A and B are shown apart, each in its own frame.
Chain A
């Protein structure tokens, strides 16, 4: 019986050590949250949406196309992040998903209100710039503790949005395609290549 005495202590330490390893690995992988393939899928659908939107005769139908695209992106993002969370055995709602929702919701709400105001004020061509700019701010704040590619993408969105605000009204569709299509595809690819998935 005497020889068994240290076993409980060792056993507790073993569990503690395994927990420590798992926690350290979790902390060391902040990027697991965002799915590169998901980003690429969002970029691809956004490119399609920008082509369809550019052909719309009225501003109202243009908005509806982008609202639909926004909804599709939300579904893709939710699904792909959930898959990635499952693969790394973390919960979507405790980690990356929560962070994404909390950082993106405020700029999205602000964007919705500004869209109404700008449409009523008769300057709808300013809307894409505002969207890109606000989406960029959300991505930067949400990606603050993520891999560098995420805040870098946010910054690119902000720069593109700023340029869009001060350029020709007829170029808006190009900015939408370059931002929500191009930047998502590009950074999605970087995330897949560098950070796996």
Chain B
């Protein structure tokens, strides 16, 4: 089975999987924000142990989806970016978790 076929097969087994937060780093961002009122860009960067470029790309994807909100402000002369989880983002995480639970249950029943 080639890689593409494997992906198609997995997709069909998990049809409603939220691709947006399925990606590791994005799932991490959502999880970290679920545990905090808000986190700055550098908080997230340290937590996820990733690079500036990588984090900003994935954070933007989540922001475009309306899962997180982003505010920019100045602390003294330093520009800061603060992220918060939106209601949509929180329910996306909840859906994702119940999806994972369903997959595990389905496995136990087979």
Contact = CB atoms under 8 A, between A and B. Distances in A.
Interface in B6-21: 6, 9-10, 13-14
Interface of B: 6, 9-10, 13-14, 24, 27-28, 31-37, 39, 47, 93, 96-97, 99-101, 103-104, 106-107, 110
Pairs A-B, 6 closest by C-beta atoms: A11-B107, A28-B32, A24-B31, A25-B35, A14-B100, A14-B103
B9 A6 contact: yes
A8 interface: yes
A6 B6 contact: yes
B83 to A, nearest CB: 12
Contacts of B47: 24, 27-28
Nearest to B33: A28
Given A11-B106, A25-B32, 13 more contacts: A7-B110, A10-B14, A15-B104, A21-B93, A24-B28, A25-B34, A27-B47, A28-B31, A28-B36, A28-B47, A29-B35, A29-B36, A194-B37
A28 to B, nearest CB: 4
B97 A18 contact: yes
Given A4-B110, A6-B10, A27-B47, A21 B104 contact: no
A17 interface: yes
Contacts of A9: 10
Contacts of B107: 7-8, 10-11, 14
A111 B63 CA distance: 51
14 contacts: A6-B6, A7-B13, A9-B10, A11-B103, A14-B107, A15-B100, A17-B27, A17-B96, A20-B27, A20-B31, A24-B47, A27-B32, A27-B47, A28-B36
A7 B27 contact: no
B29 to A, nearest CB: 9
B22 to A, nearest CB: 8
Interface in A16-60: 17-18, 20-22, 24-29
A89 to B, nearest CB: 12
Which secondary structure dominates where chain B touches chain A? helix
Interface residues of A, number: 22
A80 to B, nearest CB: 20
Given A6-B13, A7-B107, A11-B103, A21 B31 contact: yes
A90 to B, nearest CB: 12
B97 A21 contact: yes
Contacts of B99: 14
A21 to B, nearest CB: 5
B13 A21 contact: no
Contacts of A24: 27-28, 31-32, 35, 47
Given A21-B31, A24-B47, A7 B6 contact: no
A21 B97 CA distance: 9
Given A6-B6, A10-B10, A20 B106 contact: no
